[in-house]
Amino acid sequence: MAKINEVLDKCMIENSSAENGLKYDAAANIKALLGELDLNVEVVPENNHNMLTSLISSLKGTPLTIQEKEIINEITGLTTEGNENEF
């Protein structure tokens, strides 16, 4: 979970200006959603893109935004270069 927190904190710092507010909000939202988990019971799949996407989407209860998907890609190391259809 340290890797996830590192990426989320980085996104929040880099996107704290008003023009990047959507990515900041997405990072804050993911952080809040993961904060709902009991880490003594749940395992956060930070290296598995599909499982992490499913977990966060399930916690959110609605489809993920493009910004949330981008952050998950960054956490899991998935690149979207040349794959604009990912979203």
* Cα 78-12-34 angle, rounded to 5 deg: 70
Q: What domain range includes position 35?
A: 2-86
- Count up the domains in the chain and report the number: 1
**Tokens 């710092």, located at residue:** 13
87 Cβ partners below 8 Å, 6+ apart?
A: 66, 69, 80
pLDDT per residue as tens, the chain (87 positions): 788 889 998 988 888 776 678 999 999 999 999 999 998 898 899 999 999 999 999 999 999 999 999 999 999 998 655 444 444
pTM of the model: 0.80
